[in-house]
A and B are shown apart, each in its own frame.
Chain A
C-alpha cells in the first residue's frame, strides 16, 4: 500500500524537489553537532593529554608526572581528597540507601516532601551548603551560639557534612531508581521457601541494587573530589586536590602539572561509567518484563528507625539551605536578627552583573545545547549503524569527565596565543559551551529517549503523503518531542546557572558568573551578601523549575486533547 502510494506520488511528479534539500538538512544535522563535539569536547581533552606530556622546557615525556609527585602539598592534597571522598561516599551511601529504601519500599508517609527537599541542593551552587553550615555551626553560627561553645567546623568535618548534603540527593536518585525495579515474585518465592525479612533483604534486595550502589558510590566519590565550591568556602586549612589544582594552574601557571592532575581525575568517573554500562547489560538479563511491584506493609521495628533517619536527613538539608535564605535578610548575623534588604545591595565584584552574565550564559547553553542535541539525535538515526555507534559513544562520554577537568582542558584548548580558537577565550559563548558539554550526556540521553517516543508509523505516513524531511520534522517529530525539548532546555539552563567547578577556570576579572561571585563575596568576608547572592541564584533556578513544570503540564494537556 505504501509502495503504491509512493509510486503514485512519483508518477505525479511530487518527488521532484525533494532529495536535494533533504540531504542537505540531514547532512547539516549530523555534521554541525559532531563538529562541535569534536572542537569543544574531544579537542580540549586531547590538548590536555598533550600538555601533560610537554614539560616546561618543551621536551616531551613524563617530566610533568614526576614533577607532580615532587610538588609540595600535592601528595597531602591527594590524600586529603581521597580520605574525604571515601568518607563522604560511605556516609552518603548508607544514608542515601536508608532514604531511598524508606521512600520506595515502605509506607512511611512524606516521600514527596522528602523528594522535594532533596531537590533543593541541586537547584543551588554546591557552596551554598558550605555557606549554610557556616551560618549554623561556624564561629558565629546559630547552633554554636546556642551551645555556647566554639565548634571548629572549617576543615574536614565541615567539608564532609557539606559534601554529604550536596551529593546525597544524587545518590538517593540513583538508589531510588535501582530500588524501584523490585519484583514481588522474588520476594514471594523467598518467603515461601522460608526466608525471613532480613534474609530476603540480604538475598533479594541487596543483590538487585548492587550496581545501583556501585554507581551511586562512584558518582558521590567523583562529585566530592572534584567539587570546588565547598572546598573553597568551608575547607579551611584542609587542602584538597580541587583547590590545589586551581592554585597550581591559575596561581602559579603550572599548566603541565594541572594537565596531569586533570587526567588522573578522569579515572574514577571512567570506572563508574564503565560499571554502569556493564550493569545495564547484566542486571536485567533475567527479563524484568511483567514485574509485579511488591506489596508495601508497615513494619514498626524497621520503619520507625528508618523514618527517624530520613526525617533528620531531610531536616538537615532543609535547615542548611533555609538558613542561607533566612540569614540573607538579617541585619547582623547572628546578633541582630531583624529584617533588612541591605545585603541585597551588592557592590563588590561587579554587583549583580555576574548574575546577568550567568543568566545569559545559561540561556546560551540551554538554547544552543537543545538545538545541537536535537540535531544530533535526529541525524544519528539516519547514519549507518557503525558510524552511529561511534557518534553515540562520543556523545555519552562527557558524563565521565568531571566539570573541573573539562574546565581545565578548555584552558589548554582555547587559551593559546595565536590560535584562531583563542578569540573565544573570555567570552560568554565559551562559558556556555563549557556548561553545555559538561552536561551533554544527560541531555543527549533524554533526547534519545524522547526520539524513541516519535511514532515511526506516523513519520512514514507523512513521507508517503509527500512530505519532505523538513515537513516531517515540523509536523511529526517536533510536536512529539516538545516535552523532551522543554525538559532538556531547562535541565541545561538550571545546571548551567549553578555549576561552578567547570567554569572556575574560564572566568576572568571582567567576566564573572554568579556562583563565582558568591565565592568571592564569602572570601572577602561579606558572608551575608554571599547569602543574598545565593538566594538570588536559587530564586532564578526555582523559577525556571516552576516554569518547566507549567510548560510540561501544558504540553501534556495539549497532547491529550
Chain B
C-alpha cells in the first residue's frame, strides 16, 4: 500500500491549516503526525479519512485519486481521542458494526468479533455497554472496531490523550504490538513526542500547517533539521555560531556552510559533560536531582547551558566546573 499526499492545501476562512503538504506513507509503517495544537495534524488526518475535503492538492492511494471517494468507501479504520463508541450498542455490536454494514453474514461477524475480543484481552466484556467500561477498555474496543474490517489504513486521532498516565503507557505498548502483528499501515496524530518516538517508524513533525521534518525518531532527535524540531523533540541547548567558535570550536566540524546567523548548534543536555574543577570557568547555577540522572544548569561564557548527567560529586550550586561537549551528538539547525 502506498498513500501519497501531493501538495494538500486547506484553509479555514483566513487561517491556513495546511500549507501544501506532500508526504508518502508506504508498506506497513507506523507514522506519527506530531506537533503542537493548531499545527494542522488533525486536519490532515481528517482529510486522509475523508471527513474533510482539501482546497487543493491530491490524495492518492496506490495511485488512485481519493478526492472523489467519500469516507465511507475508503475502507479505513479510525479511532478518536474520546472513545466515540456507539453508546446504544454493546461492545460486540460496536466491533461488528463495520461488518454489519458490509453485510457480512452473522456467523462470520460473531467469529471475528470473538477473535478480536481475544486479541484486545476483553472477551468477558462482549455484552457490556460502553458506559460500563473504563476509558482504557473503551479505547481498546474502539481499536478492535477499527481493525475489524481489515482496513487498508488505520487512522488514530490522539487515541491516548484522554487516558491517565498508567493506562496510556500500557495501551501504547498494545497498540504497537497490534499494529506489528496485523501489519496494517497506521497514521497517528499526537502532540506527545515521547509517544511518537515510542510508536513510530517515522515521525512527521508539523508546525503551523507545514511539515518541519520527516524521519525516524532517532533522526529527528539527534539531527533535527529546524530550530522548531530541536525545541519540540525534547530539550536542547541552541547555541549561536560565534559563541560555539569561542567556547566549543570542535563542534564547528559538522557545521554546514553559511553565514553565522543562519545556523544554530543543537546540543542535547546529555551530550554535555561536567567536571568539577577548581580552575573551571563555568559556574553551576542549580542542580535538579532526578534519581538516576541530574539536570544541572551551568553559566559559561555569558550563556546558560542545560546539562544532563549521572549525578556527579562536587557539582553543587556555585561550584566551579569545566564543560566539554560530545561533538558527535551535535547537530546544526537553521535559525
* Residues of chain A at the chain B interface (Cβ within 8 Å): 183, 185-186, 188-196, 199, 203-204, 207-208, 210, 283, 285-287, 290
19 contacts between A and B (CB under 8 A): A185-B84, A188-B49, A189-B80, A189-B145, A192-B50, A192-B77, A193-B77, A193-B78, A194-B98, A194-B102, A199-B101, A203-B86, A203-B89, A207-B86, A207-B88, A283-B87, A286-B87, A286-B131, A287-B131
Contact with A along B71-87 (1 / 0, CB 8 A): 11111111010111111
B149, CB-defined interface residue at 8 Å: yes
Given contact pairs A194-B149, A195-B101, A189 touches B76 in the complex (Cβ within 8 A): no
What would 19 more interface pairs be, CB under 8 Å, given A183-B84, A194-B73, A194-B75?
A185-B80, A185-B82, A186-B86, A191-B71, A191-B72, A192-B51, A192-B77, A193-B77, A193-B98, A193-B149, A195-B101, A196-B72, A199-B101, A203-B97, A204-B86, A207-B89, A208-B87, A208-B88, A287-B82
Set of chain B residues within 8 Å of A188, measured between Cβ atoms = 49, 51, 71, 78, 80, 84
Alpha-carbon separation in the docked complex, A192 to B80 (Å):
11
Set of chain B residues within 8 Å of A290, measured between Cβ atoms = 82
CB distance from A471 to the nearest CB of B (A): 44
Set of chain A residues within 8 Å of B85, measured between Cβ atoms = 189, 286
B159, CB-defined interface residue at 8 Å: no
A-B pairs with lowest CB-CB distance, top 5: A285-B131, A207-B88, A286-B87, A185-B84, A193-B98
Q: Give the one of A185, A189, A195, A208 with max B CB within 10 A.
A: A189
B136, CB-defined interface residue at 8 Å: no
CB distance from B13 to the nearest CB of A (A): 15
B130, CB-defined interface residue at 8 Å: yes
Contact with A along B135-158 (1 / 0, CB 8 A): 000000000010001000001000
Of A192, A207, A285, the residue contacting B71 (CB under 8 A) is A192
Set of chain B residues within 8 Å of A286, measured between Cβ atoms = 83, 85, 87, 130-131
B78 lies within 8 A of A192 (CB): yes
Set of chain B residues within 8 Å of A185, measured between Cβ atoms = 80, 82, 84
Set of chain A residues within 8 Å of B50, measured between Cβ atoms = 191-192
CB distance from B82 to the nearest CB of A (A): 6
Q: Give the one of A190, A191, A196, A286 with max B CB within 10 A.
A: A286
Of A190, A192, A196, A285, the residue contacting B49 (CB under 8 A) is A192
Of A192, A207, A210, A285, the residue contacting B72 (CB under 8 A) is A192
Alpha-carbon separation in the docked complex, A72 to B313 (Å):
105
Given contact pairs A207-B88, A287-B131, A192 touches B76 in the complex (Cβ within 8 A): yes
Q: Give the one of B71, B73, B75 with max A CB within 10 A.
A: B71
User: Nearest CB to that of B148 among chain A residues?
Assistant: A193
User: Nearest CB to that of B70 among chain A residues?
Assistant: A191
Contact with A along B58-76 (1 / 0, CB 8 A): 0000000000001111111
Interface residue tally of chain B, by bracket? 20 to 34
- B181-224 CB contacts (< 8 Å) to partner A: none
Alpha-carbon separation in the docked complex, A203 to B85 (Å):
12
Q: Give the one of B82, B87, B131 with max A CB within 10 A.
A: B87
A191 lies within 8 A of B130 (CB): no
A186 lies within 8 A of B84 (CB): yes
Q: Give the one of A210, A283, A285, A287 with max B CB within 10 A.
A: A287
CB distance from B156 to the nearest CB of A (A): 12
Alpha-carbon separation in the docked complex, A194 to B145 (Å):
12
Set of chain B residues within 8 Å of A207, measured between Cβ atoms = 86-89
User: Nearest CB to that of A191 among chain B residues?
Assistant: B71
Set of chain B residues within 8 Å of A199, measured between Cβ atoms = 101
- B248-269 CB contacts (< 8 Å) to partner A: none
Set of chain A residues within 8 Å of B101, measured between Cβ atoms = 193-195, 199
User: Nearest CB to that of B75 among chain A residues?
Assistant: A194
Alpha-carbon separation in the docked complex, A290 to B162 (Å):
11
Of B70, B84, B88, B131, the residue contacting A189 (CB under 8 A) is B84
CB distance from B121 to the nearest CB of A (A): 22
CB distance from B81 to the nearest CB of A (A): 9
Alpha-carbon separation in the docked complex, A183 to B84 (Å):
9
CB distance from A423 to the nearest CB of B (A): 54
CB distance from B137 to the nearest CB of A (A): 13
Alpha-carbon separation in the docked complex, A188 to B82 (Å):
12
Set of chain B residues within 8 Å of A196, measured between Cβ atoms = 72
CB distance from B255 to the nearest CB of A (A): 47
Set of chain B residues within 8 Å of A194, measured between Cβ atoms = 72-73, 75, 98, 101-102, 149
Set of chain B residues within 8 Å of A195, measured between Cβ atoms = 72, 97, 101
Alpha-carbon separation in the docked complex, A186 to B84 (Å):
5
CB distance from B87 to the nearest CB of A (A): 4
User: Nearest CB to that of B133 among chain A residues?
Assistant: A286
Alpha-carbon separation in the docked complex, A186 to B97 (Å):
12
Alpha-carbon separation in the docked complex, A186 to B101 (Å):
15
Set of chain A residues within 8 Å of B129, measured between Cβ atoms = 285
Alpha-carbon separation in the docked complex, A491 to B102 (Å):
51
Alpha-carbon separation in the docked complex, A196 to B73 (Å):
9
Contact with A along B28-57 (1 / 0, CB 8 A): 000000000000000000000111000000
Alpha-carbon separation in the docked complex, A287 to B76 (Å):
26
Of B70, B88, B145, the residue contacting A193 (CB under 8 A) is B145
User: Nearest CB to that of B97 among chain A residues?
Assistant: A193
Alpha-carbon separation in the docked complex, A287 to B83 (Å):
10
Alpha-carbon separation in the docked complex, A286 to B89 (Å):
11
User: Nearest CB to that of B131 among chain A residues?
Assistant: A285
CB distance from B312 to the nearest CB of A (A): 44
Set of chain B residues within 8 Å of A208, measured between Cβ atoms = 87-88
CB distance from A287 to the nearest CB of B (A): 7
Set of chain A residues within 8 Å of B88, measured between Cβ atoms = 207-208, 210
Set of chain B residues within 8 Å of A186, measured between Cβ atoms = 84, 86
Alpha-carbon separation in the docked complex, A40 to B51 (Å):
57
Alpha-carbon separation in the docked complex, A186 to B130 (Å):
13
User: Nearest CB to that of A195 among chain B residues?
Assistant: B101
Alpha-carbon separation in the docked complex, A190 to B77 (Å):
10
Alpha-carbon separation in the docked complex, A348 to B118 (Å):
81
Set of chain A residues within 8 Å of B149, measured between Cβ atoms = 193-194
Alpha-carbon separation in the docked complex, A189 to B71 (Å):
10
CB distance from A393 to the nearest CB of B (A): 25
Alpha-carbon separation in the docked complex, A188 to B79 (Å):
10
Alpha-carbon separation in the docked complex, A201 to B72 (Å):
14
User: Nearest CB to that of A204 among chain B residues?
Assistant: B86
CB distance from B92 to the nearest CB of A (A): 15
Set of chain B residues within 8 Å of A204, measured between Cβ atoms = 86
User: Nearest CB to that of B76 among chain A residues?
Assistant: A192
Alpha-carbon separation in the docked complex, A285 to B71 (Å):
29
User: Nearest CB to that of A203 among chain B residues?
Assistant: B86
CB distance from A193 to the nearest CB of B (A): 4
Set of chain B residues within 8 Å of A287, measured between Cβ atoms = 82, 131
Alpha-carbon separation in the docked complex, A528 to B126 (Å):
66
Set of chain A residues within 8 Å of B131, measured between Cβ atoms = 285-287
Set of chain A residues within 8 Å of B49, measured between Cβ atoms = 188, 192
User: Nearest CB to that of A288 among chain B residues?
Assistant: B87
Alpha-carbon separation in the docked complex, A188 to B74 (Å):
13
Set of chain B residues within 8 Å of A190, measured between Cβ atoms = 86, 97
Alpha-carbon separation in the docked complex, A192 to B75 (Å):
7
Set of chain B residues within 8 Å of A192, measured between Cβ atoms = 49-51, 71-72, 74, 76-78, 155
Alpha-carbon separation in the docked complex, A290 to B83 (Å):
12
Alpha-carbon separation in the docked complex, A191 to B51 (Å):
8
Set of chain A residues within 8 Å of B155, measured between Cβ atoms = 192
Set of chain B residues within 8 Å of A193, measured between Cβ atoms = 72, 77-78, 97-98, 101, 145, 149
User: Nearest CB to that of B132 among chain A residues?
Assistant: A285
Set of chain B residues within 8 Å of A210, measured between Cβ atoms = 88
Alpha-carbon separation in the docked complex, A192 to B129 (Å):
21
